[in-house]
Amino acid sequence: MFTCRQIYDLITEYDEGSLETGERRQFEQHVVICPPCRGFLSQMRGTRDRLGQHSPPEFPAELEDSIVTAFRTWKKEQQ
46 contributes a contact to another protein by CB under 8 A = yes
What would the DSSP string read from start to end of the chain? ---HHHHHHHHHHHHTT-S-HHHHHHHHHHHHH-HHHHHHHHHHHHHHHHHHHPPPPPPPHHHHHHHHHHHHHHHHHH-
Of 4 and 28, CB closest to another protein = 4
38 contributes a contact to another protein by CB under 8 A = yes
- Name the phi and psi angles at 71, rounded to 5: -65, -45
11 contributes a contact to Zn ion by CB under 5 A = no
Residues in the interface with Zn ion (CB under 5 A) total 3
**Residues lying near another protein in the complex (CB under 8 A):** 3-6, 8-9, 11-13, 16, 18, 35-40, 42-44, 46-48, 50-52, 54-60, 63-64, 66-68, 70-72, 74-75, 78
**Residues lying near Zn ion in the complex (CB under 5 A):** 4, 34, 37
